[in-house]
Amino acid sequence: MRRMRIARATRRVTVGALAGALLCAASGSADPARRPTTYEERNGSFFAPAPPAPATAAPPTKVLPLPSFAEGRPALRLGEP
């Protein structure tokens, strides 16, 4: 009975170690195009260019017309039953 427990525990440890090794090997290949190349990027002090002014960065907007209601008033007002 004790030998079976030891064998089962050994198998679990072996399977866990194999799964961990495979996960570590698969995650080690980072995107080479996005690897930090300069000293500033490696130590985290790389700053991107400043964003455009808020007026030019905002998407264009348009005025939406209000829908016409059948009874001439909204269907539900706050505070009314």
Return d(Cα 49, Cα 63) in angstroms, integer.
Answer: 33
pLDDT digits (tens, 9 = 90+) for 29-46: 556 667 777 787 778 776
- The answer to whether the predicted template modeling score (pTM) of the entire model surpasses 0.75 is no
Task: Quote the distance between the C-alpha of residue 66 and its chain's center.
Answer: 37
Model confidence pLDDT, tens digit, residues 51-80: 777 777 777 788 888 877 666 555 566 665
For 40-57, give the DSSP string. Answer: HHHTT---PPPPPPHHHH
The pair of structure tokens assigned to 35 is 């690897």
Amino acid at 67: P
Q: What is the DSSP letter of 58?
A: S
